[in-house]
């Protein structure tokens, strides 16, 4: 086998140990009588042997019953699996710096701390003292002495942080090609100026947006007094005042509801039409004594004051309407109990 491997190498077989790859660029010469499978198998065996021979020729080590070796760097470059990532969109500063040819200089991680006289990290744990850590500070000459310089310094730092955050968000918005949010509480209207009412509403919101809900907000000269931005309050009628007005109101509503109903009883009208069309001739009609034979026969009157005067608790006189209406026996005599 070793002899075969040696001849293979002579014929220009390339071995890339870094990728554990052996490659024979020679074309296969086949005749019609050759067994293709067997031929490929012998070729492959030869190549594998050659590759393993080269691996075993590398300096070997024994670590806990395992023989290991370090492979050399691969010589064959394989195509990458994923596409090349797109370049990050430049921030506004990066764009500006590129235009002006400003290059970033790497800051050292450690800085010299004058007070402790030693090297300390620029930021993070046990960082070197900055002016934030000063326990004493000068009062500026033009200061009126009312404001605490420490508080002002803290405030200024907070503002710097807020500004930086805003700039970061703007960069993100620009990278995503979305609208850059504007400051303020007014809705962002593109290409339109805010209406007067919107601006005044925003102003009144701003005035009340304090911890004391605008109680100590100083009014600007000529500024209108603060109006309350309250929603509509639900109001109900008085419980005890003006029963007469309420009565007329209720009567109006009742009238509106009852007058809405159709005057024509559709079903009854339809029934009448049906009856009329199905009415047999007089000669064909069965004559019965009680008159209950045909559907359109004599009705049994039920009213006649039977319900009249039954209004309990002295509730007016229900003499009109319902009491005088006819009440009909609903079912045929065959199943009446």
Part in contact with another protein (CB under 8 A); list of ranges 79-87, 116-124, 215-223, 311-319: 311-319
> Smallest distance from the beta carbon of 277 to another protein, in angstroms?
15
Q: Are 321 and 307 within 8 A, CB to CB?
A: no
Residues in contact with 43: Cβ distance below 8 Å, sequence separation at least 6, in sequence order = 24, 28
> Smallest distance from the beta carbon of 282 to another protein, in angstroms?
22
Report how far residue 58's alpha carbon sits from residue 73's, in angstroms, rounded to the nearest whole number.
Answer: 13
> Smallest distance from the beta carbon of 245 to another protein, in angstroms?
11
Nearest in space to 29 (alpha carbons), one of 11, 16, 15, 14: 11
> Smallest distance from the beta carbon of 247 to another protein, in angstroms?
6
Report how far residue 154's alpha carbon sits from residue 134's, in angstroms, rounded to the nearest whole number.
Answer: 12
Residue placing its CB nearer to another protein in the complex, 97 or 308: 308
> Smallest distance from the beta carbon of 286 to another protein, in angstroms?
17
Please provide residue 12's backbone torsions phi and psi, each rounded to the nearest 5 degrees.
Answer: 85, 30
CA distances from 306 to 103, 182, 327, 329 (A): 109, 80, 10, 15
Nearest in space to 295 (alpha carbons), one of 261, 325, 331: 331
- Residues within window 217-246 making contact with another protein, judged by CB under 8 A: 236-240, 243-244, 246
Among 121, 149, 214, 318, binds another protein (CB under 8 A): 318
Number of neighbours of residue 22 by Cβ within 10 angstroms: 22
Report how far residue 190's alpha carbon sits from residue 199's, in angstroms, rounded to the nearest whole number.
Answer: 15
Residue placing its CB nearer to another protein in the complex, 140 or 311: 311
Nearest in space to 236 (alpha carbons), one of 222, 246, 227, 224: 246
> Smallest distance from the beta carbon of 326 to another protein, in angstroms?
4
Residue placing its CB nearer to another protein in the complex, 106 or 260: 260
The residue length of the chain stands at 337
- Residues within window 248-307 making contact with another protein, judged by CB under 8 A: 250-251, 253-258, 261, 265-268, 271, 295, 299, 302, 306-307
Look at residue 111 and give its three-state secondary structure: strand
> Smallest distance from the beta carbon of 264 to another protein, in angstroms?
11
Residue placing its CB nearer to another protein in the complex, 190 or 237: 237
Instruction: Tell me the DSSP string of 50-92.
Output: HHHHHHHHS-EEEETTEEEEPPPPP-SPPPPSSPPPPPPPPPH
> Smallest distance from the beta carbon of 337 to another protein, in angstroms?
5
Residue placing its CB nearer to another protein in the complex, 222 or 332: 332
> Smallest distance from the beta carbon of 274 to another protein, in angstroms?
9
What is the total count of residues that contact another protein (CB under 8 A)? Answer: 48
Among 168, 247, 288, 298, binds another protein (CB under 8 A): 247
Residue placing its CB nearer to another protein in the complex, 184 or 311: 311
Nearest in space to 76 (alpha carbons), one of 39, 127, 25, 41: 25
DSSP state of 206: H
Among 82, 215, 281, 328, binds another protein (CB under 8 A): 328
Q: Does 315 bind another protein (CB under 8 A)?
A: yes
Q: Does 316 bind another protein (CB under 8 A)?
A: yes
CA distances from 76 to 23, 46, 69, 70, 127 (A): 11, 21, 20, 17, 48
Interface ranges with another protein (CB under 8 A): 236-240, 243-244, 246-247, 250-251, 253-258, 261, 265-268, 271, 295, 299, 302, 306-307, 310-316, 318, 321-322, 325-332, 335, 337
């Amino acid at each position: 086998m070793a002899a075969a491997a040696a001849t293979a190498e002579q014929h220009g077989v390339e071995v890339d140990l870094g990728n554990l790859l052996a490659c024979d660029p020679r074309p296969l010469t086949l005749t019609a009588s050759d067994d293709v499978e067997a031929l490929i198998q012998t070729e492959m065996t030869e190549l594998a042997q050659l590759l393993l021979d080269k691996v075993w020729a590398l300096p070997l080590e024994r670590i806990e019953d395992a023989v290991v070796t370090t492979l050399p760097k691969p010589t064959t470059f394989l195509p990458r699996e994923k596409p090349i990532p797109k370049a990050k969109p430049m921030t506004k500063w990066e764009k500006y710096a590129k235009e002006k040819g400003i290059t970033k200089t790497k800051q050292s991680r450690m800085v010299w701390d004058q007070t402790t006289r030693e090297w300390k990290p620029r930021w993070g744990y046990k960082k070197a003292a900055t002016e934030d850590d000063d326990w004493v500070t000068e009062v500026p000459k033009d200061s009126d002495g009312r404001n605490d310089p420490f508080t002002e310094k803290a405030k200024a730092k907070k503002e710097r942080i807020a500004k930086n955050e805003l700039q970061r968000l703007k960069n993100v918005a620009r990278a995503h090609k979305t609208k850059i949010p504007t400051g303020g509480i007014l809705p962002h209207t593109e290409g339109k100026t805010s209406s007067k009412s919107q601006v005044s509403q925003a102003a009144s919101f701003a005035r009340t947006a304090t911890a004391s809900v605008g109680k100590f907000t100083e009014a600007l000269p000529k500024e209108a007094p603060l109006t309350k931005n309250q929603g509509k309050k639900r109001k109900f009628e008085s419980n005890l005042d003006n029963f007469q007005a309420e009565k007329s109101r209720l009567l109006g509503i009742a009238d509106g509801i009852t007058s809405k109903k159709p005057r024509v009883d559709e079903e009854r009208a339809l029934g009448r039409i049906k009856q009329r069309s199905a009415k047999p001739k007089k000669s064909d009609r069965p004559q019965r004594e009680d008159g209950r034979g045909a559907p359109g026969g004599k009705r049994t009157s039920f009213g006649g004051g039977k319900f009249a005067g039954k209004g309990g608790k002295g509730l007016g006189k229900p003499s009109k309407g319902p009491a005088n209406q006819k009440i009909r026996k609903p079912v045929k005599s065959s199943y009446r109990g």
